[in-house]
Structure 1
């Protein structure tokens, strides 16, 4: 079936154990916009990137020396891109479970991807974030940024519910250095996530972030927790 004039055009598609991942292109009277969907659910696009950038900038502002950063979820690369604008960052590990998504950025299907992943500070790990963090050494990172799903209330993959609960957050706490921080992105207010972070880290903060998404005003949320220095 041909797409309707001006409608989205499929650029790439893959299937994995988690279902279908689709990259589409749409025209909005200007430059082409790439849109990522997982199992038919909108994940992100290249038109509205402020929340991905805010995730990085909010985290970087929390730490005096964010030399080593872990980003959970590559997406279309905008969180990583913002992290790399900070000259204090010496190494950024990106953990992404979908190998095809990494490939689309590496091969230029996502046009800004090759230059982004070629940065010598970047290491990409294709793995489940829970597995990757369980294998990481204690106090490995100054910052952990998690954007692997739409938050506990709007999951694309039901198995990701565990990533917003205390056992996994305990693992996150273990890999964050004293004086470091973790920031978790959520599509909606998630008081249960704030409670879980507070239980693990001793304190947590919910920060609303307003955006315009496809001509709709939305509020996304950043959940922030810190590891006190000297602990």
Structure 2
């Protein structure tokens, strides 16, 4: 087995803990950038199926996704996939961690400046729960939430409310067409909460290989009926 070498690219502290970018190098393979939060692996640049699927599955449900909200910037792959859809006129991307926003802007994440150069992007540094609470009715055509790992594998306990009926109902109020929530595992509780908030919910599963492990991720899709 080839030896893996790591090199830290950037590190920041926030009220929620430590955010780290690091390179992962394997002999004979390309360099991979990975994101870790409080020591927990979040995502990397080699397996982006999950982030892209969040966008493609959601966009396929919507006839006119003029204004899209992406909750969670991550490494930018969901945002980039949304921007690839020429029907989209504006994307509001909300990210709580200032460090991630800065690394995307200044090129620490090499692909970041090109993504943010798209004039349709509005990048907001804020809590997506607050943005959804303050948004008016039908502000967005499509809302995509990928803020944590889902209700059963939270990186930050304070994100638990994002998967509960009251906040999901506020998200639904702000969404004219479709609300989609990503989860690292199947969650009957999330399915029920979205059904209570919107009156309907459909679960979509998809398989990926992550660090040589087979994983199944989930998207929960609700139509807001407007």
TM range (shorter): over 0.9
| TM-score, length of structure 2 as denominator length | 0.97
Partner of 2:24: 26
Give the 3-state SS of the residue equivalent to 2:5 in structure 1.
coil
How far, CA to CA, are the matches of 2:35 and 2:129 in structure 1? 23
* Shift in Å, 1:18: 0.2
How far, CA to CA, are the matches of 1:140 and 1:147 in structure 2? 19
Partner of 1:222: 219
Does residue 195 (structure 1) correspond to residue 192 (structure 2)? The answer is yes
| TM-score, length of structure 1 as denominator length | 0.95
Unaligned ranges ≥5, structure 2: none
Give the 3-state SS of the residue equivalent to 1:89 in structure 2.
coil
How far, CA to CA, are the matches of 2:172 and 2:85 in structure 1? 23
Partner of 2:114: 115
* Structure 1 residue runs of 4 or more that deviate by more than 3 Å after TM superposition: none
How far, CA to CA, are the matches of 1:6 and 1:197 in structure 2? 41
How far, CA to CA, are the matches of 1:116 and 1:32 in structure 2? 20
1:75-94 matched pairs, under 5 angstroms: 75-94=74-93
Which of 3, 9, 12 is matched with 1:11 structurally?
Answer: 9
How far, CA to CA, are the matches of 2:220 and 2:172 in structure 1? 14
1:173-192 matched pairs, under 5 angstroms: 173-177=172-176, 180-192=177-189
How far, CA to CA, are the matches of 2:4 and 2:153 in structure 1? 29
